[in-house]
Amino acid sequence: MIADKLYEEAVKHQGVCVGLDTLEAYFPNYLIEQDAGIDEKLWKFNQKVIDATKDEVACYKVQIACYEAYGLKGLQAYSKTLKYIRDNGKIVIADVKRGDIFSTAKQYAKAHFTGDFEADYITVNTYMGEDAISPYYDYIKNQNKGLFALVKTSNPSGVDLQDVKTKDGKRVYQQMAQKVNEWGSSFRGKCGFSAIGAVVGLTYAEEFENIREDLSHTFLLIPGYGAQGGTGEDIAKIFKKGLCGVVNSSRAIISAHKGIDESENFAQCALDSVIKMKEDIGQWL
């Protein structure tokens, strides 16, 4: 099961996930100066980062919006990036945050679990309820796929809705955590975690204890490390009872070369940042 593979990779690599949220602003000078289309430049950038870091990371997360913004050429680079990661035996999480009614969700499932945009995991917005994610169940069961459902997001205004108290005194995000754990109960691997995971932002690590029991069998995708301010000490609050997720860092890794190395060897800076992140997290495990 995909949850077992991800868990094994996370244990091996201190839960480090590299976010390929690639923008033109991150390109090194040597790439900017090349006479090539945006699709080729995005692809070359990602390929070099993947080649440099693949032996040191648990997985990659690719944010589709960074590629959609460049139109069809951007999506060509997105597709090549997903395939390259998987061809190298690594797990890829497509950060697409899909969430819609049953009939539409069926098409999203087909789009992101098969064909040109096939990924191992995708992120989904489950605040529309179970019928917005149940179309993915067949892919989880029969095609070794997985989901990360939004539970507690790292954006500042998320509290406006997610922290509202319900009539039983719990926060909305706590109830969502219970639902995600419940929905994932049929898809648990040997590691004890389900192929339906949860997104829990590192910027709210102190609140993790409120939902840890509700997510007892739920593996986490944890944004917020690095450029968003999260540290290894924050991770310790989440991992203190054992490793239970992957920690994503994007900008701090893929733009680490800016002002330091603008040559074709820029990806060494990404590797250095990954190793530093592993050490930062590892000291608390």
Give the DSSP letter of residue 249. E
Catalytic residue from among 44, 83, 97, 106: 97
CA distance linking residue 66 with residue 145, whole number of Å? 23
Known catalytic residue at 141: no
Residue 204: per-residue pLDDT: 62
pLDDT at site 47: 98
Q: For the chain, which domains are there?
A: 2-282 (3.20.20.70)
140 and 196 Cβ atoms separated by less than 8 Å: yes
pLDDT string in tens for the chain (285-residue length):
899 999 999 999 999 999 999 999 999 999 999 989 999 999 999 999 999 999 999 999 999 999 999 999 999 999 999 999 999 999 999 999 998 889 999 999 999 999 999 999 999 999 898 988 999 999 999 999 999 999 987 777 877 787 788 888 888 888 899 999 999 999 999 999 999 999 988 766 666 777 788 898 999 999 877 656 667 777 777 787 788 899 999 999 999 998 899 989 999 999 999 999 998 888 876
CB contact set of 229 (below 8 Å; sequence gap of 6+): 203
Looking at residue 222, what DSSP letter applies?
E
The C-alpha atoms of residue 189 and residue 7 are separated, in whole angstroms, by 10
Tell me the DSSP string of 136-152. GHHHHHHH--EEEEEEE
Judge contact between 207 and 152, C-beta under 8 A.
yes
pLDDT on residue 229: 60
The CA distance from 9 to 3, in Å, is: 10
80 burial class (0-12, 13-18, 19+ CB within 10 angstroms)? middle
pLDDT of residue 206: 65
